[in-house]
Structure 1
Amino acid sequence: MPPEQGGHPLHGGRFAPVAEEVDAVDLKVAGELPDELDGVYLRNGPNPRFTPVGSYLYPLDGDGMIHGVWVSAGRARYRNRFVRTPSMIAEEKAGRALWGGLESMILPGANEAGDMLADTFKPLPDINVIQHAGRLLALAESDCPFRMSPELDTIGKETFNGQLPAGITAHPKIDPVTGEMVVFCYGLEPPYLTWSVIGPDGVVRRGPTPVDDIEAPRMIHDMALTRRFVVLVLAPAFFDMQAATNGGSFVAWRPERGTRMALIPRDGGPVRWAEDEAFWLWHTVNAYDDPNDGRVVLDYVQWPAFSLGTGSPEGRSSKSGHHGLARAVVDPAAGTVRRALLDDARVELPRIDDRTLTGPYERLAAAADSGRVDGLLPGEYDALRWYDVRPEGTVTQAWSAGDLSVGEPCFAPVPGTRSSERGYWLTFATGRTDSTSWLLVLPSEDPAQGPVARVRIPVRVPLGLHGTWLPTQE
């Protein structure tokens, strides 16, 4: 049975956690799984092992749980596993939650958690899962990731041979040309922001490098990467630990401070800054260097203000901007930025063919709100949208999921091809009426036709966050 649901709306319904770890083979398939799909789709997300105490702040709080569907020769199997941090193991021993949510500042003493864990913050590797240099990593928000085995058993905390002891954030970017993984990390104490580079062999090539001219700690969830620059967007979402200690929010939105965009040369040169009016982003789509004029193009999902729950359906526009798929063009020499809205639909969790990261790309997909359903929660979507990105404008396709709530779409290319139109988009979906869960497989040639296969997952998969497709053979 699932854990008792807490009072927070994003700890219930389609977000409600599951407690059981399950293995299942020969999953039922409606339609036909393409024979050319051979690999595993993995997705991470917040899944509190016990009822949260004090507070629950989705999408940051909660134990990590990775759900995996292995697909080969038209058949599928499923396995889910908790990311077993020392803190979660201590809570299992106690039979209850020992740590409070991020906003409650409840920390256990030695009598509850032991000397090693007493008065420490709980690791939360519950946001993303990636593979790099043979390491499968469950990622947290500015903390050390946890390394997982290919079958999703927890191996332990990953510090990259002790060279990144403070950890990384949940959205590193892997350069498909060089194989390097570029990461960043923010902290509450100086230096407030650093970036690092991990080589394709897993060895740290550039240790934590401070980003200069950062006057106070800000929350930064995602990044982007071009062939020349690390791109970081510093919205005016400032950490306020005094307010958190007094029972308030630990993030203060200060729009009068504006949003700053940092272009950090990957060769270690001085940071190029651009200033703009305040806007917030959870997720970038991609960035690239314009070959004609040297400007940097950044596509992302824009929000008028900071909000948790991966965005609120309300407040879609304000003086500081509009919500939707957006593009920023940054001039590194002049320090100027020009923003434009590409689509004002409520979308989030955007993804592209990862093989096209750092360069011009053809297509992106995102979870979307069809506008046909009342009562969707923040972070809940009932449709998928695709955009063909062309110089003359974007061309949009959409598929409504009916009574299913869908998650982030992830691209699985057809082996041996380079086109983003040869492959499949994968996402988990859960029914709003019967709580059944599926892995949906949609063809990239014509995704608006809907899934060519629906793989029935034997247990409910809570709505979650980010995932990856790992082909059996590269």
Structure 2
Amino acid sequence: MAPVCVRRFTGRCRKVPHDAPGGSVTTHTPPRFDPTRVPHLLGSFAPVTEEVDVAELEVTGEIPAALDGLYLRNGPNPRFTPIGSYMYPIDGDGMLHGVWLSEGRARYRNRFVRTPALEAEERAGRALWGGLESMIMPDAEQVGPALAGTFRDLPDINVVRHGGRMLALAESACPYRIGAGLETLGSEDFAGALPAGITAHPKIDPVTGEMVVFCYGLEPPYLTWSVIGRDGAVTRGPTTVEGVDEPMMIHDMALTGRYAVLVLAPAFFDLDAAMAGGSFLAWRPDRGTRVVLIPRDGGAPRWAADEAFWLWHTVNAHDDGPGADAPVVLDYVQWSRLTVGDAPGAAQDPVSGGLARARIDPAAGTMTRTLLDDARVEFPRIDDRLIGRRHRYTALATSTGRTDLLPGEYDAVRFHDARTGTARIWDAGDLSVGEPVFAPEPGTDSEERGYWLTFATDRTDGASWFLVVPAEDPASGPVARARIPVRVPLGLHGCWLPADGG
């Protein structure tokens, strides 16, 4: 029996004894796995393995001259055919896709986020790690003692720029620092101040320049939060959130001027079940959903609770008045249950959801929820200059309902107006669209003066495009389409990085 260091979703090691049959470390006999039958490895999601550079993209329409910078998106993209299991969107190597814009012209580059595990698999010429649910890990003879018996790093979800660093972000681990040419510079622990890492959705306060982050783990402390200053230095190290006594999955957060806002839905990690061949993530709706408001000044957290619901992504939040007891308004995309993997209890009833709003009373410890829009939506984004303050417009990927689409696949963009409660829609037709990202027009502060950027892939022929949609009339569709001569798989999150560093 040999010990395994389980070092995923936590910066520490948990030793688990097991056998190592067939020269490969595994904690149980994995189920039969056929990657050719996994929908999220096919069609518009199918991974690409070639890293390419295209100096000049063919453009239909006209790219606004005001757009000068880099649109960058991350997403899961297995370098080799997966073994054991594959669970979208958690599994998969990170691949960055960038479109540089300047003077109405566009160029493209894609690069893998080069983790030690990816490089070890490249040396072997095949996958050595299984997906998270299969728990397959290579032994020391295959990858050396440092990587043996560990989960692989998966910085495949998001990408941000802050404090002079460009970071590819994982679900809950150290991010990877990325260079100006999308080259991987190495794992980033912020000079040792955040050894367990951060999650994939930190929030940057546009007023203070601080980046507020959180991290969850499989061992105590199960949830911490931290603050990274405008200059990239950690100003608050990992601070335990008291009241969390089990390992939970928490994908996103929100920020107000006063609070960091975290939604703790009843999605619990169960490592013992995973070691026995079951699911490592369990949906337990009887536990309900809690929201914690963490004062940014270091005060005691404030809690509220309600019936169970799940969220992948927040939209935004703000303090609804002065004073410590003022309510907090949180907009988010709500789901009736968790929909990932084989989480027990997560596949028993149809899933429903939409764009929702929670009003949280920190003094009473209560919240009320309202469904703002019942359309099937995800990947919500606002003008990031309004993070933590009132916003008007939210752009979301949505579906028309004309055709069957996979989870995570959308064929339209919905633009919700919080002031009027109405929505405008751009129907993308045969295109599957990704998350829309806002690029403001330089020198303006209006949410309607700028452009929504995204990648899209044609479901009929696999052709991929970079799209520029005007914020003042988004339902009119793109003013420019840049043809990407290689397919860009549907992915997750991205950002607009102006050339002036703003």
CA drift of 1:333 comes to 0.4
Which residue does the alignment assign to 1:419?
446
CA drift of 1:314 comes to 10
CA drift of 1:25 comes to 1.3
On the 8 A contact 1:5/1:12 being kept in 2, the answer is: no
For residues 163 and 118 of structure 2, the distance between their equivalents in structure 1, rounded to whole angstroms, comes to 27
For residues 149 and 246 of structure 2, the distance between their equivalents in structure 1, rounded to whole angstroms, comes to 25
Which residue does the alignment assign to 1:460?
487
> Secondary structure at the residue paired with 1:429?
strand
Question: Alignment RMSD, CA only?
Answer: 1.6
Which residue does the alignment assign to 1:280?
310
Which residue does the alignment assign to 2:327?
295
Aligned with residue 374 of structure 2, among 313, 328, 344: 344
Higher mean alpha-carbon deviation, 381-390 vs 4-13, is at 4-13
> Secondary structure at the residue paired with 1:377?
coil
Aligned with residue 400 of structure 1, among 427, 436, 448: 427
Which residue does the alignment assign to 2:59?
29
Aligned with residue 292 of structure 2, among 262, 270, 273: 262
Aligned with residue 68 of structure 2, among 19, 38, 41: 38
On the 8 A contact 1:46/1:63 being kept in 2, the answer is: yes
On the 8 A contact 2:339/2:347 being kept in 1, the answer is: no
Which residue does the alignment assign to 1:147?
177
> Secondary structure at the residue paired with 1:176?
coil
Which residue does the alignment assign to 2:232?
202
For residues 237 and 27 of structure 1, the distance between their equivalents in structure 2, rounded to whole angstroms, comes to 43
CA drift of 1:26 comes to 1.4
Aligned with residue 393 of structure 2, among 347, 351, 363: 363
Which residue does the alignment assign to 1:380?
409
- Spell out, residue by residue over 1:248-271, the C-alpha distance to the aligned partner (whole angstroms, 9 max, x if none): 211111101000100000011011
On the 8 A contact 1:230/1:265 being kept in 2, the answer is: yes
Structure 1 pair 52–388 and aligned structure 2 pair: CA distance change class (3 A): same
For residues 347 and 307 of structure 2, the distance between their equivalents in structure 1, rounded to whole angstroms, comes to 22
After superposing on structure 2, the runs of 4+ consecutive aligned residues of structure 1 that deviate more than 2 Å are 4-7, 311-317
Aligned with residue 447 of structure 1, among 474, 481, 491: 474
CA drift of 1:241 comes to 1.1
For residues 213 and 37 of structure 1, the distance between their equivalents in structure 2, rounded to whole angstroms, comes to 46
For residues 105 and 221 of structure 1, the distance between their equivalents in structure 2, rounded to whole angstroms, comes to 21
CA drift of 1:75 comes to 0.5
Which residue does the alignment assign to 2:214?
184
CA drift of 1:243 comes to 1.6
Which residue does the alignment assign to 1:161?
191
Which residue does the alignment assign to 1:238?
268
Which residue does the alignment assign to 2:3?
none
2:334 equivalent to 1:305: no
For residues 414 and 53 of structure 1, the distance between their equivalents in structure 2, rounded to whole angstroms, comes to 45
- Spell out, residue by residue over 1:91-144, the C-alpha distance to the aligned partner (whole angstroms, 9 max, x if none): 000000011100011110011111221111100000000000110000001100
CA drift of 1:22 comes to 0.3
On the 8 A contact 1:239/1:251 being kept in 2, the answer is: yes
* AA partner of residue 303 (structure 1): W
Which residue does the alignment assign to 1:63?
93
Count of residues in Structure 1 that have an aligned counterpart in Structure 2: 463
On the 8 A contact 2:35/2:83 being kept in 1, the answer is: no
Which residue does the alignment assign to 2:118?
88
On the 8 A contact 2:267/2:283 being kept in 1, the answer is: yes
2:430 equivalent to 1:430: no
> Secondary structure at the residue paired with 1:425?
strand
2:357 equivalent to 1:330: no
> Secondary structure at the residue paired with 1:281?
coil
Q: Flag structure 2 segments of 5+ consecutive residues without an equivalent.
A: 1-33
Aligned with residue 102 of structure 1, among 115, 132, 156: 132
For residues 76 and 480 of structure 2, the distance between their equivalents in structure 1, rounded to whole angstroms, comes to 26
Which residue does the alignment assign to 1:115?
145
Which residue does the alignment assign to 1:222?
252
For residues 248 and 376 of structure 1, the distance between their equivalents in structure 2, rounded to whole angstroms, comes to 28
Which residue does the alignment assign to 1:134?
164
CA drift of 1:246 comes to 2.0
> Secondary structure at the residue paired with 2:311?
strand
* AA partner of residue 87 (structure 1): A
For residues 97 and 439 of structure 2, the distance between their equivalents in structure 1, rounded to whole angstroms, comes to 17
* AA partner of residue 244 (structure 1): A
For residues 193 and 464 of structure 1, the distance between their equivalents in structure 2, rounded to whole angstroms, comes to 27
> Secondary structure at the residue paired with 2:74?
strand
CA drift of 1:470 comes to 0.4
Q: Give TM-score scaled by structure 1 length.
A: 0.96
Which residue does the alignment assign to 2:496?
469
For residues 59 and 13 of structure 1, the distance between their equivalents in structure 2, rounded to whole angstroms, comes to 15
On the 8 A contact 1:240/1:250 being kept in 2, the answer is: yes
CA drift of 1:6 comes to 3.8
- Spell out, residue by residue over 1:49-78, the C-alpha distance to the aligned partner (whole angstroms, 9 max, x if none): 001110001101000000000011110000
On the 8 A contact 1:316/1:323 being kept in 2, the answer is: no
For residues 305 and 196 of structure 2, the distance between their equivalents in structure 1, rounded to whole angstroms, comes to 28
- Spell out, residue by residue over 1:308-343, the C-alpha distance to the aligned partner (whole angstroms, 9 max, x if none): 28x9999555xxxx4000000000000000000000
On the 8 A contact 1:31/1:453 being kept in 2, the answer is: yes
Structure 1 pair 12–179 and aligned structure 2 pair: CA distance change class (3 A): same
> Secondary structure at the residue paired with 2:81?
coil
* AA partner of residue 338 (structure 1): T
On the 8 A contact 1:313/1:346 being kept in 2, the answer is: no
For residues 489 and 90 of structure 2, the distance between their equivalents in structure 1, rounded to whole angstroms, comes to 15
For residues 6 and 205 of structure 1, the distance between their equivalents in structure 2, rounded to whole angstroms, comes to 47
- Spell out, residue by residue over 1:431-471, the C-alpha distance to the aligned partner (whole angstroms, 9 max, x if none): 00000000010000000000000000010000000000001
Structure 1 vs Structure 2: percent identity of aligned residues? Answer: 68
